[in-house]
Amino acid sequence: MDTDPVAPAGPDDVALGLRAVHRAASELRRGTPVLLRGAGETLLVSAAETVGAAGLSTIAALGRSAPVLLLAPARAAAFAPWPGPFRPCGRWRRRPRSPSACRRRCSSRRPCAAWPTPLPRACCRRAPARTGWRPPPLAGAALALAKLGRLLPALVAAPVRDAPALLRHDLLSVEAGQILAYPAGAAASLRKVAEAAVPLEAAPDARIVAFRAADGGIEHLAILVGRPEDALAGGTAPLARMHSECFTGDLLGSLRCDCGPQLQGAIRRMAADGAGVLIYLAQEGRGIGLVNKLRAYALQDGGLDTLDANRALGWGADERNFLVAATMLQQLGIERVRLLTNNPEKLAALAACGIVVEGRVQHSFAPNGVNDGYLETKARRFGHLLA
C-alpha cells in the first residue's frame, strides 16, 4: 500500500529565529544594510562603523526620509554631552571634513563625531526641542543587533520607502522580536557537540566539552577537572568558575588585567580539591568582544576607567549572559556548586537561572603594578569582593 512520504522534521521556530539574527549581525559586520521589521514599520539599518559609501547610497535610495544616527544613550552622552534630542543634519558627505569645517556649518558649533574607522562623517547639530520627540520604535532592537555583531552600538537608519525597490536590492530581513529574544534563546539551545581528554599541566585528568547554540555560532567550553559529577553524587558540591575568555590575559599574559592568574589559579585550585568545572565563556571583555575591548583600552590610556570606557563606546558595564553558563552546568548534570568568584553578580545570576550556589570561594590575586587601578575599579565600581 502506497503512503505519502513523511516530510523530514525541520528546525523549529526558535532555531530559525536564532539563525536569522546571526545572519543579520553578520551582514552588518560586512557593511551590508539589513531590514528590521516590527512595531508596524520597517527600518533599514547599517552599522555606522562598516556602512561605507555604498551602504549610505542604499539607505538614501530606499529611505522614506533622511537617515538618522542611532546611538546608545551612553555613547550619545560621551560625544554630545548637552541635553536635548539629536539627529544628523541630513547631508552625508562622501569626503570627511575637518572638525573646523563642521563647526562652520553647524549651529551647535560642535565638532562632528569621530569614528574608530575611516567613514564619511555626519555633521551633527542639536535638533530643535519638540514636544513628544522620540527615537524610532525599533531603535532598541537595532542597537541590540549591532551589539550581537560585536560592533559599536551606532547605526545609520531610515524607514523604507516601498517593497518593489527592496526586492531589487535583495536585503536580509529580521524581526525585532527575534533580536530581543536572541540572548535567552541562544543560551537555552546550547548542546554538547564534542568532548575529549586534554591533560593540563596543573590538571592531568582534565577534559574539555564544547557546546554550540542552534544558530551555529561561536562555541563555549567547559573544562572538567577530575569527576565533578561524581563529587556531586557523593554529596559534595564541586568547585565551579565562570570565566569569560580573555585573549590578552589568558593567552598573552597581559598585565592589564588579572584574567590569566584567575584562569590558571582556578584550575590549580580544582585539581587540589579533587574535582571542579570551569565554564569558559566566549564573552570577551565582559561581553563586548576583543575589538571593542582594545578600543576601551585606548580610552583607558586617555584617563577613563574600565566602566567609563565601556560606556563611552555605548556599552553597558557588563554585557555578559550568564544563562549560557547555567545551561552548560545543567547539561553536565551539575546543579549545585561552590563558586570561585569575587563577583556578587555571578552568584545572583546563577541562582536566578536555577543553579544552587552553596557558597562563594574567594578567588583574588595581588596587583602586579600595572593592573592596580583596574582592580581598584573592580572593587569600587563593580562591587567585586577583593578584600
Known catalytic residue: 318?
A: yes
Q: Which residues contact 355 (CB under 8 A, 6 or more apart)?
A: 326, 329, 330, 335, 336, 337
CA angle (285, 145, 130) in 5-degree steps: 110
Cell numbers linked to 322: 550568564
d(CA 290, CA 357): 30
d(CA 337, CA 360): 9
In the three-class reduction of DSSP (H, G, I as helix; E, B as strand; rest coil), residue 222 is classed as: strand
d(CA 350, CA 102): 49
- Reduced to 3 DSSP states, what percent helix, strand and coil does the chain have, rounded to the nearest 5? 40, 20, 40
Paired with 226 in beta bridges are 275
Q: Which residues contact 198 (CB under 8 A, 6 or more apart)?
A: 206, 207, 208, 223
Catalytic member of 75, 110, 295, 320: 320
Q: How many C-beta atoms lie closer than 10 Å to residue 278's C-beta?
A: 24
d(CA 162, CA 269): 61
Contact 74, 314 (CB under 8 A): yes
Tell me the longest C-alpha to C-alpha distance in the chain. 83
d(CA 230, CA 332): 11
How many Cα atoms occupy the beta-carbon half-sphere of 246 within 13 Å?
21
H helix runs in 39-79, sequence order:
52-62, 73-79
d(CA 197, CA 227): 12
Cell numbers linked to 65: 526620509
Known catalytic residue: 320?
A: yes
Q: Which of 285, 54, 337, 76 shows the shortest CA–CA distance to 171?
A: 54
Paired with 244 in beta bridges are 281
Catalytic member of 241, 286, 318, 338: 318
Q: Which amino acid, residue 91?
A: R
User: Active-site residue numbers?
Assistant: 318, 320
